[in-house]
Amino acid sequence: MIYILLSLLFLIIIMFMTYFYMSYFIYYNNILNENTKLHNDNIHFMSYKETSEFLVNDKDRYVSNFSELDLHARNVKTHIEYISNIEDTAISFSDEEKELLIKCSNNADKYFKTETYKELKYGKHINGNDIADIKWIFACTYTNHFNNVIKEYEEGLPHTRENIIFVSKNVLKYDKLNLTNTLIHEKIHIYQRYNSKLFDKIIREMGLLELDKKSFKYAKYIRSNPDTNSKIYYDSDSIINNDKDGIMVYLYRNENPNGINDVIQNNYSKEHPYEKIAYEIAENFYKNNKDKYINI
């Protein structure tokens, strides 16, 4: 009888040790996988310090080149005042936000690699593998409420500067479909910045011509956009000659805009050829994948 009891005890100990080691292995493996997920070689998440320094240094001179109307739309009087405000909007990503962006950026890269772009007139010029190979660099900002003062960077709108994609905390609340769509759009802007000569060719093939800003009497109303090449284009088939409705550009409604989007045009794809192309490529993804995300 005692041998039976000892055997049962030994069996229980073995089972307990097996359970313990399996649980430990699963836990350790999950931790290892999570760390791997959050340290993808093709993705860099800027810290709040890195983001703040970038905004302050303004190396691409995006803020420095603001017009008086751009400043008014941001409720500041000087470029220095705006830089001082946005310095305090930088914030680091949480682990949950990193994981979300990794999933969505992987989906975006998969789309770039597998899409044929046949539906787009300029599709033959788009190299999806080259786009996918571009490293994702993300910076995050938030609306800073302090002492009854609201500080916000570009109204929280997603955009790119240099090789960085800026997303706000509000953008990170998008569902996976719309966030992936946004990342595709923004990465196209990085691709455009790296391949300006290629897109000069694409724009010509689209039948668009460049308009001299000096001859454009509404030039002072142009809204700054870091995702464009600062040139103005118009359709060669249109009779425009200073007709602001026939030009691909966003104009503030008046000399006292109350925000970045206080503009005449409301079709985002008509602001600039770069925007039109980015919207079309991202819309292709949305159209082909929206059914996968229904009720998820």
Question: In this predicted structure, what is the pLDDT of residue 59?
Answer: 97
Q: How confident is the model at residue 1 (pLDDT cuts 50, 70, 90)?
A: low
The two three-digit tokens of residue 30, written as one number: 């999950």
Question: In this predicted structure, what is the pLDDT of residue 41?
Answer: 84
More confident residue, 90 or 235: 90
Question: In this predicted structure, what is the pLDDT of residue 293?
Answer: 54
Using one digit for the tens of pLDDT, what is the confidence trace for 116-165? 999 899 999 999 999 999 999 999 999 999 888 899 999 999 999 999 99
Q: Sheet of 208-211: strands edge to edge? A: 208-211, 232-235, 247-248
Using one digit for the tens of pLDDT, what is the confidence trace for 3-30? 554 555 555 556 555 544 444 443 444 4
Q: Is the pLDDT of residue 108 over 80?
A: yes
Query: Is there a contact between 157 and 189 (Cβ–Cβ < 8 Å)?
Result: no
Q: How many CB atoms lie within 10 A of CB 66?
A: 18
Question: In this predicted structure, what is the pLDDT of residue 139?
Answer: 98
The two three-digit tokens of residue 108, written as one number: 């975006």
Query: How large a percentage of the chain has pLDDT more than 90?
Result: 72
| Helix H or strand E segment including 159 | strand 159-161
Tell me how far the alpha carbon of residue 294 is from its chain's centroid.
23
Q: Provide the sign of the torsion angle of the four alpha carbons 232, 235, 240, 244, taken in this order.
A: negative
Using one digit for the tens of pLDDT, what is the confidence trace for 188-217? 999 999 999 999 999 999 999 999 988 899
Using one digit for the tens of pLDDT, what is the confidence trace for 262-281? 999 878 889 999 999 999 99
| Helix H or strand E segment including 13 | helix 2-37
